[in-house]
Amino acid sequence: MEELRYQRKHKEDRPVVAICYDFDKTLSPDDMQAQGYIQSVGYEVDKFWEKSNALSWENGMDSNLAYMYLMMEEARGTLVFNRKALEEYGSKVSLFPGADTWFERIRQYGEEHGVIVEHYIISSGLREMIEGTDVAKAGAFEQVYASSFFYDDRGVAVWPAQVVNYTNKTQFLFRISKGVLDWNDPGVNDYFPPDEIRVPFRNMVYIGDSDTDVPCMKLVNSYGGHSIGVFNAKTDDRRKVHKMMQDNRIKYFAPADYSEGTELDCLVKAIIDRTAANEKLESIYYENLKESKG
Ligand SMILES: [Mg+2]
């Protein structure tokens, strides 16, 4: 009975490639809060983060809980801090080139090659803002795992509902892998035989830009998946991706340009091609293994 309460996905006859994205500076050139919200509560962007980091440091507070608290506090008396306002700020967040059509294009590419492509967001930013973007509204994402608020009966944000930080980001990779997608579904700890895992890590792609992505990148890489570091093509600052490459966190890097025919586009398509071929062999292996056991 318990399973009925939760949204679970089960293994299909076609392989699934799950592409997981960080949000800030991976899909969007800047932090989402710095594209309207911080300015509207009268702060300079740097000053807001300084205050938030000090709050975190001085109180031993999770840095994401600190920014969420500060966002709520600074809104008091200035703007109504509800879901709608956050979604509206989200709708103004800009994305890197090509990202507006990327999700559907890549899904379609998978479809043509016998692979189910799914897109997942794993971000320390705000879920409400991500859900306010045009791509999210068009249904690009299977799930948006991000920090979010709890709203009181007047619809005002009063408490954090979820907080996603760089280390707890990794739990979502296990949820996606097993198809146990609900935040609270304890089935994430259940044992699944290898041939019943819906998205083996080898069929997972993680795309991120910085240190906060390192635990996810490392996990995906060490289980045979594909971690990709991206950087802003305009600044062409490759220091972070070179370091992550040297430290064995990522397997590839490319400019964060999601347009057709770019390095990133070709790379992800190559991963899909390889998965399609590789999974044919994997399924023969599991059939043979099954027969040998009688
Ligand atoms: Mg980032």
Residue 285 alpha carbon to ligand 1 centre in Å: 38
229, 239 contact by CB (below 8 A)? no
Residue 4 alpha carbon to ligand 1 centre in Å: 34
Residue 25 alpha carbon to ligand 1 centre in Å: 5
Residue 204 alpha carbon to ligand 1 centre in Å: 18
Residue 209 alpha carbon to ligand 1 centre in Å: 5
Residue 193 alpha carbon to ligand 1 centre in Å: 33
Residue 279 alpha carbon to ligand 1 centre in Å: 31
What six digits make up the tokens of 74? 């600074």
Residue 136 has pLDDT above 60, yes or no: yes
Residue 126 has pLDDT above 90, yes or no: yes
Mean confidence (pLDDT) of the chain: 95
Question: Under the phi-then-psi rule, with left for phi > 0, alpha for psi from -120 to 50, and beta for the rest, what region is 39?
Answer: alpha
Residue 63 alpha carbon to ligand 1 centre in Å: 14
Residue 242 has pLDDT above 60, yes or no: yes
Residue 286 alpha carbon to ligand 1 centre in Å: 38
DSSP H or E stretch at residue 221: helix 214-222
The residue extents of the domains of the chain are: 2-30+97-293
Residue 83 alpha carbon to ligand 1 centre in Å: 23
Instruction: Give me the pLDDT at residue 5, please.
Output: 79
The residue with tokens 């057709």 is: 260
Q: Which fold has domain 2-30+97-293?
A: Rossmann fold (3.40.50)
Beta bridge partners of 51: none
Residue 1 has pLDDT above 70, yes or no: no
Residue 20 alpha carbon to ligand 1 centre in Å: 12
Band of residue 258 on the pLDDT scale cut at 50, 70, 90: very high
pLDDT (tens digit per residue) in 13-46: 999 999 999 999 999 999 999 999 999 999 999 9
Residue 3 has pLDDT above 70, yes or no: no
Residue 291 alpha carbon to ligand 1 centre in Å: 46
128, 148 contact by CB (below 8 A)? yes
Residue 213 alpha carbon to ligand 1 centre in Å: 7
pLDDT (tens digit per residue) in 86-123: 999 999 999 999 999 999 999 999 999 999 999 999 99
Residue 2 has pLDDT above 70, yes or no: no
250, 229 contact by CB (below 8 A)? yes
230, 249 contact by CB (below 8 A)? no
Q: Please state whether beta strands 157-162 and 143-151 pair in parallel, antiparallel, or not at all (unpaired).
A: antiparallel
Instruction: Give me the pLDDT at residue 4, please.
Output: 62
Residue 75 alpha carbon to ligand 1 centre in Å: 24
CA–CA dist 115, 70 (Å, integer) = 43
Instruction: Give me the pLDDT at residue 21, please.
Output: 98
pLDDT (tens digit per residue) in 180-217: 999 999 999 999 999 999 999 999 999 999 999 999 99
Instruction: Give me the pLDDT at residue 167, please.
Output: 86
